[in-house]
Amino acid sequence: MREKATVLNSSDMDRIIQRMAHEIVERNKGSKNLIFIGIQKKGVPLAKRIKENIEKFENTQIKLGKLDITFYRDDLSEKIKTDVNITDIPFEIKGKDVILVDDVIFTGRTIRAALDAIMDFGRPKSIQLVVLIDRGHRELPIRADYVGKNLPTSLNEYIEVKFKEIDGEDKVTICWI
Amino acid sequence: MNKKDILSVNDLNNEQILQILDSSDSFMEVLERDLKKIPVLRGKTIVNLFYEPSTRTKTSFELAAKRLSADVINFSPLNSSLKKGETELDTLKTIIDMKVDLAVIRHSDSGYVKYFAKNVNLPVINAGDGKHEHPTQAFLDLYTIFKHFKQFKDLRVAIVGDVLNSRVARSNILLFKKMGMEVFVVAPSMLLPENMDFFDIKSFKSIDDVIDEVDVLYMLRMQFERQNKKFYPSINEYNRFLTLNKTRFEKIKENSLIMHPGPVNRGIEISSEIMELEEKYPDKIKIDSQVTNGVAVRMALLYYALS
């Protein structure tokens, strides 16, 4: 994989995360009924940061769960994925406004799987989707409610999102496959 | 033909085994949900063929398959066409012709499951064949150990009792050694197979020889149903050398585990008194956890074999 260009640096990412945190609170008229669920792996650090931002300016505590969607994928027979991450949602989601977070939205199939998985845990009042990058090429009628950056791509490109917690640095790059 | 049979613990390499243990954690999480079902194997059909009685293994496999949304058929030879003179292999082929995706097979003859697996073109999981192997039991035992110790290096395991008649002993010795643990057996020579050299492990006569230095005490079930002649003089003799009782329990090393594949013959392998202590010592006596872990590990193995 060859790196083509840096799309976002660390301070760009900070600003976007802060902006999305405010948008979420604005649209939900506060943060009282919110819970966050990050999709493994890169959705988790993003969810954590947005949540911490809201906690700071709303002076509150918000719950954060982790969701691995491997078991809900529609392409199991095509791709073998053996490195399964843990799902950890140790609280009630019934009646909550769930903020579902992932780093990149592409075909929409991951989100379709995540919606199925969340429904198995209970019936939330609503589910709203946050992504850092929307790279287009949707294959399903799914859209994000909060988008960090729209980044039209071609199919032979790949978006790499890095987070300090996992990769040691904050950076979004566009790469050739 | 590239199907993923699990006939022996040696059918998976160390890396695959660690992946099974890893994904078992995820399947364990599913078992703790209110809605204990995930759609991974939706549309797949699994047949359970048990030519030998079984409660826990069969139920465990059936539950594991159902938690993964697979359809399960239970075939029991007692009320089947075997009675009409069909051979066992032909019966199996008939079932497979009905478009089944995987077979879980238990048979009282060693090697029979492998014979089945060779003659059909779908993945087969060995749920116990004679005195040969019981790989899924070994994997769930390994997971139980891994959950507690988080690693295998330098762990010492004593496998106690009827090694001769036990397929669990055979699979566990092979698997535990493969993962880097030191394994002993504790049994009188009449309960050891003749070819013990094959395993290349130390053996002891009494549980007292090892009790204060092992990390895992693995008690085997006395296989009365497989002993058509008498292999051990008396229950008193067994109690003297091999039974885990109160006195011995007090000598056990700190941070060690007591395991048993079940069902326990109370008063033989483990005294009733100790059996009642599991709730009090859940970090030490793992017999109930083994059963729970068994469902998660079998989910992981079914997922592995079918993906």
- Complex ipTM, two decimals? 0.77
* CA closest to A117 among chain B residues: B38
Which pair of tokens denotes residue A127? 């589910």
For an interface test with A, give the residue of B23, B33, B44, B102 to mutate (most A CBs within 10 A): B23
A87–B23 CB contact, under 8 Å: no
- Residue B228: band (very low, low, confident or very high) from pLDDT cuts 50, 70, 90: low
Looking at CA atoms only, how far is residue A140 from chain B in angstroms? 19
* Residue numbers in B near A78 (CB within 8 A): none
* CA closest to A121 among chain B residues: B35
- Kindly tell me if the per-residue pLDDT of B140 is higher than 70: yes
In the DSSP assignment, the letter for residue B6 is B
CA B130 to chain centre: 13
Q: What is the mean pLDDT of chain A?
A: 93
pLDDT of residue A89: 94
Looking at CA atoms only, how far is residue B257 from chain A in angstroms? 25
Side-chain half-sphere CA neighbours of B94 within 13 A: 11
A121–B33 CB contact, under 8 Å: yes
Nearest to B29 among A81, A86, A116 (CB): A86
* Pairwise CA distance, residues B295 & B60, whole Å: 5
List per-residue pLDDT tens for chain A, 177 residues long: 788 899 999 999 999 999 999 999 999 999 999 999 999 999 999 999 999 999 999 999 999 999 999 889 876 655 555 667 889 999 999 999 999 999 999 999 999 999 999 999 999 999 999 999 999 999 999 999 999 999 999 999 999 999 999 999 999 999 988
* Pairwise CA distance, residues B166 & B135, whole Å: 12
Rg (CA), chain B: 19
- Residue B80: band (very low, low, confident or very high) from pLDDT cuts 50, 70, 90: low
In the DSSP assignment, the letter for residue B115 is H
Task: Give me the amino acid identity at B275.
Answer: M
pLDDT of residue A82: 61
Q: Is B102 exposed, middle or buried (0-12, 13-18, 19+ CB in 10 A)?
A: buried
- Residue B96: band (very low, low, confident or very high) from pLDDT cuts 50, 70, 90: confident
On whether the CB atoms of residues A102 and A74 are closer than 8 A, the answer is: no
Nearest to A76 among B23, B33, B307 (CB): B307
pLDDT of residue B226: 67
